[in-house]
Structure 1
Amino acid sequence: MSEKTKKRAKGAVMGAFIGDALALGPHWYYDLEKFREDYGEWVDDYTAPKKGRYHEGLKAGDLSQSGYILKMLLESIMENKGYEEKDFCRRIDNGLFPQLDGTPVSGPGNYTSQSIRDAYRNRVVNNLQWGEFEGHADTTEAIERTLGITAYYAGNLKEACRNVYSNTILTQSDELVVSMSVAFNAVLWELINGHPLDEQISGKLMQEVKNNSLPFHAVTGDDLTPTKKGVPEPSRLGRFASPDALLTPSFIARAAGDPGVSIEPAWKVSLVYGMPCAIYHILPSVYYLAARFKDDFESAVLHAVNSGGQNMARAMLTGALVGAQVGIDGIPARFIEGLTEKEILLKLTEQLFG
């Protein structure tokens, strides 16, 4: 990895931790008037959750359970010098599950997501083995941890996506959700390797499909041109039926740069694409903010935080994409300083990326 690539990988990981912690206080406000009443017109720093809200009892700068699991995955990668699924699963079994009770309000971060609750029930209550059960959550929970895999394997897209896929299906089985999770990580990989989030990025990703580095199906010709009559289906038949998840980022990046497309202020992107938790609401808004504010980490993550609804996933993933574009040096120091586990997280990223 070059020094610039290392800095972008560090930026992606630290950006994710920062986005996660920034949204901890005002997480899951679907009533925007109540959001503003509790936190003012603009949240611009770490805040503690209010009494009776999600994550009650944590303090400003703490990580949610998503951040906790990402850190756990990175620690596993660091100690094994690569992603070892058995080790990661062992850490979940021995380090996370004993802190849970199967209910939503439990465990690190004082809230456990649906996919992890499902995994807990299958492993602890039903005594099933990893790989013997399915998870039907339609959320970004797998992306929130697998982005660490992509950062580590920044030198090998095929290996990154192979491990992202394998880790994702531990907890989420819906093929559309899995394909969108892999696609996000492919976008992140491109950004860590220096490509901006612009309207050309999907073309680069489709070239990787042709190179058999991405497990997507592709039928159309270059630039989505029609296939010709009598021409057989191409041999690059990937795991996923459609490459559409790879095409979305370019369309949204084009919209973000088009003066005829206006979302003002930018936090209202959540009203355009939807405030709920499902992956098909979250990823378009993340791509939009990361493309619009590609050089401005603070604006990107704060618009994500102030957007309401599932703003934690939105901020975490936006932080990863913009952190990858600006690098660790482009993240305002106050956001790093405000993290409760600043020293631990900085040491971890240094050990991983040098």
Structure 2
Amino acid sequence: MTNEGIRDRAAGALMGAWIGDALGLGPHWYYDLDELRRDYGPWITGYTAPRPGRYHDGMKAGQSSQSGFILELTARSLAERGDYDEADFCRRMDEELFPLLNGQPANGPGGYTSQSIREAWRRRVEQKRPWGETAGHADTTEAIERTLAIAVRYALDPGRLAETVSRNAALTQSDDLVLSLTVAYCAVLAQLVRGSALDAHLSDTLMDLVKKNVLPFHAVTRDGLKPPRPGDPDPPRAGRFASPDALLSPSYIARAAADPDIRIEPAWKVSLVYGMPCAIYHMLPAAYYLAARFRDDFESAVLHALNGGGQNQVRAILAGTLVGAQVGLSGIPQRFIDGLERGGELRTLALELAAQAAEPTEL
């Protein structure tokens, strides 16, 4: 686990997210795959502009959506402060994002504002509530789309990662299941930045961290998911989140991706297997599958995520992040960086945050 390798993988994760976001800008939210193929051809290979009247109308190929905007805001706060500074993050949301919104979906940076951000805007701007009273019930992935930067920053400190990701995610998400899935994804990402593979053994590593009370998940089983014995304390490992199952799913899905008797062909049909809608429980399994199947092939992972339709932007963000963390910045084809608006600037930011991530966290 060299510093150079961590920096490369950390920067690859961040760039993978921005690339996935911009790839999804044009063909976002086509639930009719025949319509998607009519508008963009049989296979989308790069950045495209939205069609008139569609989501993100008026944006150009290679630009970021609001997800990319907020991810950059989060990454800049981390990089400039050198740490997670919640007051600074909230100030940036108040000053840099919320003045650009009006509470409507088809508005704001990137041409569209998601449900949880609209709800936070209403509570904060219209109702004048303090941060901490701004979360809503959306069961979507907006928190992951920004906290992945926090996961990169604290990849070497999983306990600090869980604490800071939980706090930041809770600013916009009130559902405990969504929060647990968000923390689990970020814990997976951290292990990939550290050099692990998304495979059948990754969940064992994560469960070891639960056993050591590093990750805040409740568990009653012993090692290897064996049942508790008479006299064992209840619970032996208590945590904020009711179950560690969110940490087990990635390895089960990785096993399926590696099993020759289980094939999703072509791989873009993962969207039909796990679901095309926006909810987090549709998005995460598809992203884990693509990231496990194409762990050393960034292009295949993001393009199959993209061509599956539905909420393909998030699918591409989440898969692009996980594969970017496995191949590193050095393993991302240069054309994806060249075609990304402000790609050089975002790359510099990714490398700056990655350099901080490679150093042990000081508490």
> Is the structural similarity TM-score above 0.5?
yes
Q: Which residue identity lines up with residue 279 of structure 1 in the other structure?
A: I
Percent identity reads 61
Cα deviation, residue 257, structure 1: 0.4
CA distance in 2, matches of 1:13, 1:95: 20
CA distance in 2, matches of 1:331, 1:140: 24
Cα deviation, residue 343, structure 1: 2.0
Aligned to 1:127: 128
Aligned to 2:97: 96
Q: Does residue 199 in structure 1 map to residue 221 in structure 2?
A: no
CA distance in 2, matches of 1:278, 1:180: 11
Aligned to 2:4: 3
Cα deviation, residue 235, structure 1: 3.6
Cα deviation, residue 232, structure 1: 2.4
Deviation readout 1:237-280 (Å, 9 max, x if unpaired): 00001001000001000000001111100000010000000000
Aligned to 1:77: 78
Aligned to 1:208: 209
Deviation readout 1:120-142 (Å, 9 max, x if unpaired): 00001111000124310100110
Spell out the pairing of 1:25-44 with structure 2 (5 A cutoff).
25-44=26-45
CA distance in 2, matches of 1:276, 1:158: 32
CA distance in 1, matches of 2:154, 2:302: 24
Q: Which residue identity lines up with residue 72 of structure 1 in the other structure?
A: L
Cα deviation, residue 222, structure 1: 0.9
Aligned to 1:270: 271
Cα deviation, residue 229, structure 1: 2.8
CA distance in 2, matches of 1:132, 1:101: 19
CA distance in 1, matches of 2:119, 2:29: 21
Q: Does residue 327 in structure 1 map to residue 328 in structure 2?
A: yes
Aligned to 1:343: 344
Deviation readout 1:296-352 (Å, 9 max, x if unpaired): 000000000001000000000100000000000000000010001112101212222
Q: Which residue identity lines up with residue 108 of structure 1 in the other structure?
A: P
Deviation readout 1:123-172 (Å, 9 max, x if unpaired): 01111000124310100110000000011112211111111000000000
Aligned to 1:309: 310
Question: Which has the larger displacement, 338-347 or 56-65?
Answer: 338-347
Q: Which residue identity lines up with residue 158 of structure 1 in the other structure?
A: G
Spell out the pairing of 1:144-183 with structure 2 (5 A cutoff).
144-183=145-184
Aligned to 2:114: 113
CA distance in 2, matches of 1:257, 1:131: 42
Q: For residues 92 and 133 of structure 1, do their structure 2 counterparts lie closer, same or farther at Cα, with a shift above 3 Å needed?
A: closer
Aligned to 1:246: 247
The DSSP-based 3-state class of the residue aligned with 2:277 is coil
**How does the TM-score come out when normalised to structure 2?**
0.96
Q: Does residue 24 in structure 1 map to residue 12 in structure 2?
A: no
Deviation readout 1:193-243 (Å, 9 max, x if unpaired): 000000101110000111221000111111111112332224420000100
CA distance in 2, matches of 1:23, 1:39: 12
Aligned to 1:50: 51
The DSSP-based 3-state class of the residue aligned with 2:130 is coil
Aligned to 1:353: 354
CA distance in 1, matches of 2:351, 2:243: 37
CA distance in 2, matches of 1:233, 1:335: 50
Deviation readout 1:46-74 (Å, 9 max, x if unpaired): 00000010001010000000000000001
CA distance in 2, matches of 1:2, 1:173: 36
The DSSP-based 3-state class of the residue aligned with 1:282 is helix
**Cα RMSD (Å) of the superposition?**
0.9
Deviation readout 1:69-108 (Å, 9 max, x if unpaired): 0000011111111110010001001110000000001110
CA distance in 1, matches of 2:259, 2:320: 23
The DSSP-based 3-state class of the residue aligned with 2:25 is coil
CA distance in 2, matches of 1:335, 1:325: 17
Structure 1's unaligned 5+ residue stretches are none
CA distance in 1, matches of 2:319, 2:346: 18
CA distance in 1, matches of 2:12, 2:352: 14
Asked if the contact 2:119–2:134 (Cα under 8 Å) also holds between the matched residues in 1, the reply is no
CA distance in 2, matches of 1:305, 1:191: 22
Asked if the contact 2:337–2:344 (Cα under 8 Å) also holds between the matched residues in 1, the reply is no
CA distance in 2, matches of 1:351, 1:273: 35
Aligned to 2:361: none
**How does the TM-score come out when normalised to structure 1?**
0.99
Aligned length: 354
Asked if the contact 2:274–2:282 (Cα under 8 Å) also holds between the matched residues in 1, the reply is yes
